[in-house]
Chains A and B, each alone.
Chain A
């Protein structure tokens, strides 16, 4: 059985100040195998974050179900950890303090806690910076801390919502390679949201393409590029093919969006 099993998922939001309901995600079904790296790609507002937050247990489901290792998701749990997009590091805590946060929630303490945190900080290459505060770090370094904090609690599933979305193109590439290096060592199941096509292909075993109104899955594409990967595959024939395919999907989404706007 697959590790993550999403069946007929639907999530409605109630619009503030009116009783109108708005469907952000509808009829989503998806299976993810243990150890698989799945990227979710789609234009902005198509429900990627909503889907990910549902798996995290941070939004409640309107329809359908999500199971992880056969257990129904009804809230956050120690089997999952989230790497958020923007600054979600606590500014008053050092790098080490931030990495400790999730461990503290699981009642780690004393020397174990400290050792585990330092181990994770070294894993993401920030050993020298463990006493720095977030505002003293670059955007890329902050996201490394974010990743270390999530990995520290040793989750089964790592959920990432555009973790490199705020970084410049070059840093983003470096972080992608780095993430794969870490992932290959940690062997976690990963769900990774992005709107960057190259990033979606580069990281994935499987790409989930989403469309909008309401958010749904348009296609699931298997990626058979060999691992371990590095920047060289960006120029391979297969990569070009996949890129073309994803572009076509997103272009379709864009034109349908424009149509809606023209009608409205």
Chain B
């Protein structure tokens, strides 16, 4: 084979990355900034710059965390919140993916349901929380409902967009090889809309976490939001901060996980 362009290497060469041994400049600066902040936070109340009652201290937060994990029924409350999250999110996935697919592949269905869907997506679904409480009581059910409502729309809308915005060149190519509608669906539309679906899931995570916490803050007998309420009225800044950190860490971890899958899938189509 003599042609020049065949011997040209691939655009990307895979290399064993050892970069984690040499932390980047941004990582060093970031770490230093966090350390500086912690030190400042620690000494500020002692120096009389702020009132420690309202700001707490890193050390206090640290001990509060140990205390919470040891004897605050932490696992009990976490399990309740997690159950609400998982139940609501699973329900959202089960409903939203088929709905998104239907809307993405049927113009008529789209004309029919798109406007109310958009409206519901834009409106903060938390305004429905009081209604959910009236309908479903103060147990886990209204929180599951709010999680569901928060998560369902981003997934539906993104799945729909991914399906309906399929590259017409791919559709034509598939038809030229005699693809049936089912072939086109399974081999072009579904893989083609996967990145959009994942984007929807990622956006849904944030809304779902918010739903659980706000739902529990509003009315509940247990859960992380309940604890937040409790320590809020007791002005326990240290404990509030621990719970806030736990909630953010949870949402952050899930989001990062979905995003990494998303990036992997998007890699194929870059360029």
Contacts and interface: CB of A to CB of B under 8 A. Distances in A.
Contacts of B267: 133, 135
Interface in A184-223: none
Contact of A125 (B6, B174, B176): B6
Interface in A59-107: 76-78, 80-82, 84, 86-88, 90-93, 101-102, 104-106
Contacts of A178: 3
Closest 3 CB pairs of A and B: A91-B269, A88-B173, A102-B177
Contacts of B192: 90, 92
21 contacts: A56-B176, A58-B175, A76-B177, A78-B178, A81-B177, A82-B173, A84-B172, A88-B169, A92-B191, A92-B192, A101-B187, A105-B174, A105-B178, A105-B183, A106-B177, A132-B10, A135-B267, A141-B5, A141-B6, A171-B4, A174-B4
B178 A77 contact: yes
A86 B4 contact: no
A129 B172 CA distance: 26
Interface residues of A, number: 38
Interface of A: 56-58, 76-78, 80-82, 84, 86-88, 90-93, 101-102, 104-106, 125-126, 129, 132-133, 135-138, 140-141, 153, 170-171, 174, 178
Contact of B11 (A90, A92, A135): A135
Given A58-B176, A88-B170, A106-B178, A135 B5 contact: no
A95 to B, nearest CB: 11
Given A76-B175, A137-B11, 18 more contacts: A57-B176, A58-B175, A82-B176, A86-B169, A90-B191, A90-B192, A92-B191, A92-B265, A93-B191, A101-B173, A104-B183, A125-B6, A135-B269, A135-B270, A136-B12, A138-B5, A140-B6, A170-B4
Interface in B224-271: 265, 267-271
Nearest to B180: A105
Interface string B145-182: 00000000000000000000000011011111111000
B119 interface: no
B183 to A, nearest CB: 6
Interface centre among B12, B187, B191, B265 (most CB of A within 10 A): B187
A242 B186 CA distance: 48
B113 interface: no
Contacts of A106: 177-178
Interface residues of B, number: 31
A74 B1 CA distance: 40
A76 B176 contact: yes
B126 interface: no
A178 B268 CA distance: 28
Given A58-B175, A105-B183, A137 B10 contact: yes
Nearest to B10: A136
Given A133-B268, A135-B271, A136-B12, A174 B5 contact: yes
A125 B3 contact: yes
A53 B265 CA distance: 32
Contacts of B177: 76, 81, 101-102, 105-106, 153
Contacts of A174: 3-5
Interface centre among A90, A171, A174 (most CB of B within 10 A): A90
Contacts of A104: 183, 187
Contacts of A58: 172, 175-176
B8 interface: yes
A133 B265 CA distance: 12
A111 to B, nearest CB: 20
Contact of A92 (B6, B169, B174, B268): B268
B188 interface: yes
Contacts of A170: 4
Nearest to A175: B3
Interface string B201-212: 000000000000
B196 to A, nearest CB: 13
A76 B172 CA distance: 10
Interface centre among B6, B8, B176, B268 (most CB of A within 10 A): B176
Interface string B35-46: 000000000000
A105 B179 contact: yes
A88 B173 CA distance: 7
A101 B183 CA distance: 10
A170 to B, nearest CB: 8
B217 to A, nearest CB: 42
